[in-house]
Structure formats: structure tokens, C-alpha cells
Amino acid sequence: MKINVVRSVLEAGEASAAENRRRLDAAGVVAINVLSAPGSGKTALLESTIPALGSDIRCAVLVGDLQTTRDAERLGPLVAQVTQINTEGGCHLSPSQIAQAISGLDLEGISFLFIENVGNMVCPAVFDLGEHLRAVLLSTPEGDDKVAKYPPLFQTADAILITKVDLIGVLDYDAARVREDLSRINTAAPLIELSSKTGQGMDEWLGWLRAQRPGGSGKEKSPPTAKP
Amino acid sequence: MKINVVRSVLEAGEASAAENRRRLDAAGVVAINVLSAPGSGKTALLESTIPALGSDIRCAVLVGDLQTTRDAERLGPLVAQVTQINTEGGCHLSPSQIAQAISGLDLEGISFLFIENVGNMVCPAVFDLGEHLRAVLLSTPEGDDKVAKYPPLFQTADAILITKVDLIGVLDYDAARVREDLSRINTAAPLIELSSKTGQGMDEWLGWLRAQRPGGSGKEKSPPTAKP
């Protein structure tokens, strides 16, 4: 298993999210920025998702962490290509890191590029990386108050995934409260409740994902607004 | 219940953490910066801790969130004074916000000032607010890989609390892996495994806390290093 590693480096100029998107569009790749707090299950979701998409849908993954290649090691056996981006203290991925990582990928035949961002509900929300879509995760043990407390993250989501729903029975988690908070800030994104562990809700997520491929039934959308 | 609210404002100059510490020292207040990812149980810990300290130990709380006064509403009935700081998009509390909040408090007779930071494992780690001690939380559902992935947060901790240990039976969580990762970056801070829900481990945490009061048996420590 070959794991490319990109480390945060000072660059002459910041690469542009729009240029990243143009390169991905030219290769027919749909890029999905996957965002959440630390430990919401981003890597576990990709571990379940990628094999379930089937062998005709090839995926690549860029995975961001301050340190370690642990997530790339987990995902490496499952995907065509994986690149670990170590931000070395940085609180979000940047368009330059994505540009550098894309340059090291062979995009030929790749349908989806998943970009697993640094676990952080604040900073990654305001950086457009050049992705086409955003999937935002909230895990049930984080609590039902997080949509109201971190609205920018949920406002920019194209799909909102409530993860670890298998734990609801042992938590004080009020699903209605989350829906009510979301109804005030984002009613366009589908709300999908799932468990990567039990498989509950995975069909709905996979269906949404398949519809986002070129020629799928997913709606075209504008790129997210960057606030640099 | 009166809840003061401080909102993020542009200021002429950044207040200094050292000046905050001087003001707290003059009033005999021990300030504890409480840090973790979103949903690790910072507010739940304070809800359990403050009444358990007993009526002879008076506490005040500053609580940071991007939006809402939900945490201040939860803590208000339990503490002498509570101030909600809304960062309105900011990813960490700043010394200026603390200076402003302290100015609105009556510090007379307060033993502990708990500063509940914005839920974020990255940015708050590098800002000295003028606190005396740092308590860093990691909840078991976040996973046993977080110490290695977010080392700066754990390196600066004076106490490391593994929260929600009541959930261990339903999770794939390896406590030994966390201890091993911590052994490489911070062996000075006590590691306390607890559950605010069941009370497990709370005595150890309360004992540590009581020892930090002036005249307690806690060791004197240098202020954390700020990397502005």
C-alpha cells in the first residue's frame, strides 16, 4: 500500500479553489468535502461507503490531520488512491494543500474524490477547497445542541449525516431538537441518519451519493462561498 | 438568573493573558481553562463538579460558544456568576474576551473561575487566556486515536480527563492506546477516567481540583506558553 503524504508548507501563493474545481471538472471527478468535529466518524463512514459503492465506482481520498497517517492507513486498502495531508498544527485544509495533493493523483477513471477535512466544527466551514459538495457529519454522542452552536458548518452542507445512531438508546439525544434547529438554517440538504457500524441508513446515503455523479439525478449546485 | 453575554468585538488592542492572570491572582481566584472537541462533555462536567465542590467553594464560569446562551442557561442555576461569550464565528476564546468578561464579574470570594472554551481541539490549544491550569477532555466516543492526531492540545494539559467512560462497553475504544500515546507527549498531567453521568471517577477529579486552591497541595506551575 502506497500512501502519499503532503505536509503543510509555505507556498509562494495560495492556490485557488476555483482552479482546483476546474481540474476536477476536466477529469470528470466529483469532489466531496467531508466535515465534522473530531471523532464523528468521517473515516468510519468512508470505510463503509467506498466498498459499498461497488467496483464500478472508483474513489480517491485525501485525508487531513494535524499529525499521523493513521486514517490513510485505514483507508488505503479500500481505495484506488489515498493521500494523507498533515497540517502540522493547521486547523483546516487549504486550497493549496488540495492542489498539491491532486497533482500527485491519477484522476483517470476516478468518480469520487473524498476530502476528509481536519476534525473541527469551526475553521474548515469557511474555506472552499474546490469541492463540489459538502457532507457534514454530527454524531449522536456529541449532543443535540451542536447545530445551534455551530451554525456556519451546517449552513453550507449539501448533505447532513447524523452518525452513530446505533448509540441513541444509551444517550440523552433528542433527534427532534436537531431537526428543529436545522429547520431554521438549512432545509435544502437532506438529513440522513445512519450508523456505519450497523449499516442503518447507509442505503439512503449511498443513493444520494450515486445521484451526484455526472449524469446522476442530483441537482446542480453553485460552489460554496469562500470567506478567506 | 442573570446571564451576562460578551460578544466578539473589534478592540483597539489585544488584552494580555499576563494581565488577566495578575487580576485573578490579586483576587485569589484560580482560573481553569477547560478544553476539548465539541460534545466531549465540558458543560456536563461543570454541572456535576460545581455542586459537588460544596457550598464553601464558590465558582464562576465563563463559557464560550459561537452562538447561543444554552450552556450559560444550563450552568446559571448552579454557580455564583456565569458569563456567556459568543465568538460569532471565532474558533477560540481570546485574552480580550476574558478581560472583558472578568470586568463584569465580582471576583470577591470566588475560588475557581472555569473558562469553558469553544469546542475545538486545534485553535484554543495555542492561546493563553491568563488561566492558571488547563483541563483537557477527551470523550470515549471520539475514539482512541485523538491524542496522536491532536498532540498540541494534550501537551499543554495539567489534567487530562477521559469522559463518558460509562459508554466504553458499547464502543470500540482502547484505553491502553490512549495511555500509550500520552506517554509520549505528557506524563506530568494526571489521567482521570470519569463519567459525569454515573459519577465514576469524579472523586479523583474533585480531589485534584481541591488541591489546586491556594494553600492546597497542588504543585505551582508556570503559565502555559502562548503562541500568538
Per-residue pLDDT, averaged over B144-170, amounts to 97
What is the arrangement of strands in the sheet containing B4-7, beginning at the earlier edge strand? B4-7, B81-86, B58-65, B110-116, B30-35, B133-139, B159-163, B191-193
Q: Considering Cα of B129, then B134, then B140, then B146, what sign does the dihedral take?
A: positive
Residues of B in contact with A45 (CB under 8 A): none
Q: Evaluate if residue A93 carries a pLDDT over 50.
A: yes
Question: Residues in chain A whose beta carbon is closer than 8 A to a beta carbon of chain B?
Answer: 37-39, 65-68, 70, 89-91, 118-123, 126, 139, 141-143, 145-146, 148-152, 164, 167, 170
Candidate from A89, A121, A139 with C-beta closest to B152: A89
> How high is the pLDDT of residue A125?
97
Question: Residue A218's pLDDT band (boundaries 50, 70, 90)?
Answer: low
Between A223 and A51, name the one with better pLDDT: A51
- Report the chain A residue with the minimal C-alpha distance to residue B166: A170
B180-189 residue pLDDT tens: 999 999 999 9
ipTM of the complex: 0.90
- Report the chain A residue with the minimal C-alpha distance to residue B85: A149
Q: Do B89 and A122 touch (CB under 8 A)?
A: yes
Please give the interface size between A and B, counted as residue pairs whose CB atoms are below 8 Å apart.
107
> How high is the pLDDT of residue A12?
47
Cβ proximity of B173 and B138 under 8 Å = no
